[in-house]
Structure 1
Amino acid sequence: MQDHVDHYNFWQKHVERRIMRSSHVIWSKKPAGDWAEGYPIGNGRLGGMILGDPLRERIALNHDRLWRNFWTFQEHRTAADLPELRRLCTAGKWDEAHDLLIRKIPVSGQALYLNPFVPACDLGVYPYHGDDAITEYQRRLDLDAAVVEVSYVAGGVRYRREYFSSWPAGVLVIRLSASQAGRVRGEVTLSRLLDPDCDVTGSSRLGEVVLEGAFEEGVRFATVVRVVQRGGRLTGGRREYQPPAGPLPPKDLNGLQFIFREQDYPHDPVGVSTCFDCADEALLLVAMATEDEAAGDLVGWCRDKLHSTPTDFDQLRAEHVLDHQRLYRRVSLNLSPQPQTVTTEELIEEARDSGDTSPALFEQMFDMGRYLALASGRPPAPDQPAKAPINLQGIWNQDRRPAWDCDYHLDLNLQMCYWPLSMANLEELLPPVADWLTSLLPQAQRAAMDLFGCRGALWSGVCDLRHVGNVDDLCFGWTGAGAWVAQILWHHWEYSGDRAFLRDKLYPVLKEIGQFYEDYLIEDQRGRLAPVPSASPEMGIKGRKRYSALSSPSAMDLELI
């Protein structure tokens, strides 16, 4: 028992020293007020957002390949209209050109563009503390270890939670422990937000919770949690799935409509659950699967994964930290020798109030950027399905129709995710982008021929994991999406000198883009090759009868070409 207490005293002093001295720790003295304030964990495939509520923890779970599939690439048959469209644009008759365009191309916001990236489910942890007050609360994300820790005191006992998403093990790992033996008690749940398009079922038994989901178009997924206790006992919880309280939301029949999560997380356990009582500590192992991992028995695949995972937390943590630091420690930025003695929230408030960003905050932003890239963009092991590129929110999302569907915006956002990575010596994260572009190549070739009657390939300004996205009147004239993504892949080649990457992945994409422009460019009045029509994406031009983006050759297109 004394060894147990000594371990906690040592740990507390060690953490306090790291908080004081390290810019690699993001920390707070309070739980997250909402999902966006949570601390993310991820291994490139499985993501979780840690909110850190001491009484009712909610961990929003995501899988990088869990996307809806109700929309498929659609032809617009505008190639036949291109000569007339070019004539009107060349003559400066922009309103007439726009009228011709919207006969077949939807007005912005009045269409489905692609399929959204959607959440898997919520993992709930409900510790039992009776009426004890919560004091000495801390929540921290150690960027160098890729571990989130939550600690607090209740009833004279210090409780501690540790969370990480392990790349070597391929699972999420959570440990619940306390400074006194036999004081870890609570309930573990799996549930999912109410969604009229998704049928959810679940079951539980001692030490295991299972949730399965099936969308109306056939997309399926599963999550399984294994609970391993030391001391005490496991006991049954809610064996049949009980959805969260409240009416089922209406069907989404309004095209591009963001549907953000409004319901609070339940104060009482819902979904399916299992319990643990009087344990010294409890270990939670979480596996998730889509049909990309296992076309048939998704739950069986998850169970196999969990039962092949060691249950020695210290071993799992040590392997995870070593694996993460092998990449994270390739680069460091040191701007301030002074120890960090304030929370991250105070650093941000100080910058907001003073208008001056401290060196410590610059360091944390630089380190956080690298951490997020690794957590959301790291390629999987060779025997796993292909990595989905980093989307608009990394791999974290709690909403059934998130902002811009958590898609791939190729008119800036995807590029921003990958621009700094070669400079930060994280070149392993770039090849999945080339693989993804190549996977969409047949659709991009169809799009080039359908929209403009051109050979080669055309990626639209927005795409999802499996589809070249729809176009609207604001982005129809912008053809530079593929060229801009290819530019970051070219930068990767310049940094890496990987001739196999150049030959097998990059050159085939560049060839298709070049072939498209060989057909698409026409001579202007001065004999120069120019893209007509053109556009600067999402940038309307004033002085017309309606919001329109069609233009003479835009600086953006010319720069990319």
Structure 2
Amino acid sequence: MKRRVLLFALGVLVLLACEQPQDFTEKLWYKQPAKEWFEALPIGNGRIGAMVHGGINREHLQLNEESLWAGCPEQPYPEDVQKHYKHFQKLNLDGKFEQAYEYASKYLVTSPTGFRSYEPFGDLYIGFDHSEGQNYRREIDLSTGFATVEYEIEGKRFRRETFVSMEHDVLVYHFKSLDGQKVNAEVAFSRKKDVRTKAVVDGIVIQGQIFDDPDGYDDNVGGSGKGGYHMKFAGRAKIIADGSEIVRNDEACQIKETSSFTILFGAATNYNLAGLNFDESIDASKKVAEDIEKAETFTYAELKEAHVKVHSELYKRVNLDLAKMVVDTIPTDNRLDALKAGNDDVYLQQLLFQYGRYMLITSSAGKANLPANLQGIWNKDMWAAWESDYHMNINLQMNYWPADVCNLPETVRPLSDYLTRLAVNGKQTAREFIGSEGWMFHATSNVFGRTTPSASNASYQVSVGYSFPLAGAWMTQTLWRHYQFTRDEEYLRKTVYPILQGSARFIMDFLQQDENGLLVTAPSYSPENEYINPETGKALSNTVASSVDIQIIRDVLNSCLEAEQLLGQSNLTDEIKAVLLRLPEINIGANGTIMEWIQDYEEAQPGHRHISHLYGLYPSTQINPSKPELFAAARKTIERRLSFGGGQTGWSRAWMVNFYARLLDGDESYKHINALLKEQMTNNLFDLHPPRIFQIDGNLGVTAGMAEMLLQSHEPGIIRLLPALPQQWREGTVSGLRARGNYELGLSWSEGKLTKVHVKAFSGGQVSLVYQSKEMLVDMKSGETREVAFL
């Protein structure tokens, strides 16, 4: 695009006025209680989570605490690992892929192949002696983090409010009869195993320790680790009865003739993040008691006010108005049913966008110590699918795609802390495997910091584990992107650069020269697809220099190079520059698509859910309009995947939204938003992986994709405004989105045309604002705010 600097109007900005009524907030709401977990509503403060079912006669709060995992730290290394790994590399480099796989299966597979699962904390039940109710409404207010249930019984009104306090770190449940009607209630707690509960004078005390039965069920063929007694946990439900009598039996408490009561629920484990382990010196019961004691010094109204202040400040930073909604009169499940029947619903998309932001806040902000896992923090199963682990061949990365652009930078903190500690473990793995002083880890990990290859069976330990040693390298780009958005030099110096430097060191030690003089990865694979070996016709995973590997490496080395320039260092600069010149290029195959592997192999599954060879399109920037042949090939790659049934998981569909946004095709992005809602979501808008498994990545990925449709800042020095606006979003406003360079923007548009732009520069500097064919260079001081008009 030819650059034209246009005149612009400047003015002191009163931040973009929201065209919605000031009391309007997005809510998920229903006219009936949840019949199952997939209809319940999630609340959380990052550390404690709950699913609120809203039954009239019995409220069910399914509870989680972020660190409650089965198992213990294990880093299994096979005997003579460096010798065998080196031979595994050589066999791959020599093109003897089947032999390499067989060799690794014999000499590198080691037990435990996998690890144990994230577990639910338990279930809190509050029963009532109610008869049948009427005028029922169940909702969650995304702006406050409140789950509310309201109903009538024989003309008497009742209200319940539940939230997990961002300020006081306890779950708060409040029941009130709005007309003073007296009821009897019972409070009980249950968990399937490993727990003792005792009713006391004012509630229930919970003590537990996970016992991993060495002779019991194991979801991973090849083992999930040592048996025995492991992590300890504790909880307490404190009843504040507002003057009513509490009667207890062994395990439950009855509240007699009450019109109002509050329950404070605390939960903790003896997990120690600093050591990626549980710690016998940590007293979980003491932590719970202290949290409850502090919280009960405040009234319910004070607890509520303190929580709302913290939660709302995060949530309300971004406002998106696509539907000009005044009152939402249609229950969320009815909206979803209508969409499936063919009725378009722009407001439902707006709700989905903010729901993703809400879910990231409630699973990775507030009191969170750990990053959001495959299910955020909400898991009902004692052995969750894929252990609800940290899956790092796209899933954990996708969880944090919306963090910065959607103005939630605080949510990256738990991820930074975790990755920093994981890299320490990864130094040993890099040293043991190849003698490198850098760090490495593989596709999956847990709260105990496993960095050696793990998978659900021995076969996958080779193909998914050993063959993808660049999972950690990919994760570095989340932290680098966070720096690009925030321009926090201290964060760059103390956190990001050390991580980048260690990853770059490992990469350059790991690369090997092939017969053409190129530097390639061996082993390698393209998550989680297979290719057809042209010599044997067999499907294989392991190879050399899959496209995603080289694209990741190019990003890591370039970001490390830039970090050194910014910090005035040159530790790896010369070596990185030399290596970059010898990496393979992104290539186009005979069918016009981006090649998934370094050879133009046939895919075993041409409709595979992963499209890892388009990492360069999104989340990376290597495939862009300045490279028109690659840009066109990327589109063809997506079309081919879809023609064979691609996008069949929720997270894969969300990736499509981001892909098409980068291709500047808002109408196609829009189609995939609707496809996600129609085909891959439950009534509570939980994203699904077949057959019916909740994964939070699809929720968070689609939110990132919708932001990408409205604002893009991945090209150096350029912010694109409404780059992929679909026809259906003809009127709208958005405020609070963030751009790289530490800018915050607000946009208004009418009849599909941009009308207003508000920019705030937190760091200052020059940036080009681009809208369609117009480009405007803006030079702003730190803290300056402007209203900019395109003339």
Q: Structure 2-normalised TM-score?
A: 0.60
- 308-317 or 298-307: bigger deviation: 298-307
C-alpha contact 2:161 2:173 (8 A) present in aligned 1 = yes
Give the 3 Å change call, closer, same or farther, for CA 389–342 of structure 1 in structure 2: same
Give the 3 Å change call, closer, same or farther, for CA 376–291 of structure 1 in structure 2: same
> Which residue number in structure 2 is paired with residue 556 of structure 1?
548
The separation in 2 between residues aligned to 1:295 and 1:139, in whole angstroms, is: 42
Deviations 1:320-359 (A, max 9, x none): 11111111111111101144221111121222221x6521
The separation in 2 between residues aligned to 1:225 and 1:148, in whole angstroms, is: 18
Q: CA deviation at 1:21?
A: 8.2
Q: CA deviation at 1:546?
A: 6.0
> Which residue number in structure 2 is paired with residue 168 of structure 1?
167
C-alpha contact 2:267 2:288 (8 A) present in aligned 1 = yes
Correspondence for 2:261 among 273, 282, 285? 282
SS in 2 for 1:372: helix
Q: CA deviation at 1:182?
A: 4.5
- 358-367 or 202-211: bigger deviation: 202-211
> Which residue number in structure 1 is paired with residue 96 of structure 2?
93
Q: Which amino acid aligns with 2:201?
A: L
SS in 2 for 1:145: coil
Give the 3 Å change call, closer, same or farther, for CA 305–86 of structure 1 in structure 2: closer
The separation in 2 between residues aligned to 1:531 and 1:378, in whole angstroms, is: 36
Give the 3 Å change call, closer, same or farther, for CA 451–540 of structure 1 in structure 2: farther
> Which residue number in structure 2 is paired with residue 335 of structure 1?
322
The separation in 1 between residues aligned to 2:74 and 2:383, in whole angstroms, is: 17
Are residues 1:313 and 2:300 paired? yes
Give the 3 Å change call, closer, same or farther, for CA 212–227 of structure 1 in structure 2: same
C-alpha contact 1:43 1:165 (8 A) present in aligned 2 = yes
Unaligned runs of 5+ residues in structure 2 are 1-19, 212-228, 273-279, 455-460, 554-791
Deviations 1:293-325 (A, max 9, x none): 894543343223212213411111111111111
The separation in 1 between residues aligned to 2:62 and 2:34, in whole angstroms, is: 13
Give the 3 Å change call, closer, same or farther, for CA 273–547 of structure 1 in structure 2: farther
Correspondence for 2:284 among 298, 312, 319? 298
Q: Which has the higher contact order (CA 8 A, sep 6+)?
A: 1
SS in 2 for 1:435: helix
The separation in 1 between residues aligned to 2:393 and 2:478, in whole angstroms, is: 13
SS in 2 for 1:473: helix
What is the 5 A alignment of 1:3-82? 22=24, 24-70=26-72, 72-76=74-78, 77-82=80-85
Give the 3 Å change call, closer, same or farther, for CA 71–538 of structure 1 in structure 2: farther
Give the 3 Å change call, closer, same or farther, for CA 537–448 of structure 1 in structure 2: farther
The separation in 1 between residues aligned to 2:43 and 2:502, in whole angstroms, is: 37
C-alpha contact 1:452 1:520 (8 A) present in aligned 2 = yes
Give the 3 Å change call, closer, same or farther, for CA 556–507 of structure 1 in structure 2: same
> Which residue number in structure 2 is paired with residue 117 of structure 1?
118
Give the 3 Å change call, closer, same or farther, for CA 19–497 of structure 1 in structure 2: closer
Q: Which amino acid aligns with 1:282?
A: F
C-alpha contact 1:44 1:374 (8 A) present in aligned 2 = yes
> Which residue number in structure 1 is paired with residue 156 of structure 2?
157
> Which residue number in structure 2 is paired with residue 411 of structure 1?
393
Correspondence for 1:348 among 329, 336, 339? 336
What is the 5 A alignment of 1:132-531? 132-193=131-192, 195=193, 198=194, 200-216=195-211, 217-236=229-248, 238-239=249-250, 272-292=251-271, 295=281, 297-309=283-295, 310-338=297-325, 339-354=327-342, 357-380=344-367, 387-469=369-451, 470-471=453-454, 472-475=461-464, 476-531=466-521
Q: Which amino acid aligns with 2:29?
A: W
> Which residue number in structure 2 is paired with residue 250 of structure 1?
none
> Which residue number in structure 1 is paired with residue 558 of structure 2?
none
> Which residue number in structure 2 is paired with residue 267 of structure 1?
none
The separation in 2 between residues aligned to 1:104 and 1:86, in whole angstroms, is: 13
Q: CA deviation at 1:451?
A: 3.2
SS in 2 for 1:203: strand
Q: Structure 1-normalised TM-score?
A: 0.84
The separation in 2 between residues aligned to 1:441 and 1:492, in whole angstroms, is: 18
Q: Which amino acid aligns with 1:458?
A: M
CA RMSD of aligned residues (A): 2.2
Unaligned runs of 5+ residues in structure 1 are 1-17, 240-271, 381-385
C-alpha contact 2:97 2:542 (8 A) present in aligned 1 = yes
The separation in 1 between residues aligned to 2:22 and 2:419, in whole angstroms, is: 44
Give the 3 Å change call, closer, same or farther, for CA 86–65 of structure 1 in structure 2: closer
Q: Which amino acid aligns with 2:68?
A: L
SS in 2 for 1:92: coil
Deviations 1:530-549 (A, max 9, x none): 11221112222234576531
Give the 3 Å change call, closer, same or farther, for CA 515–20 of structure 1 in structure 2: closer
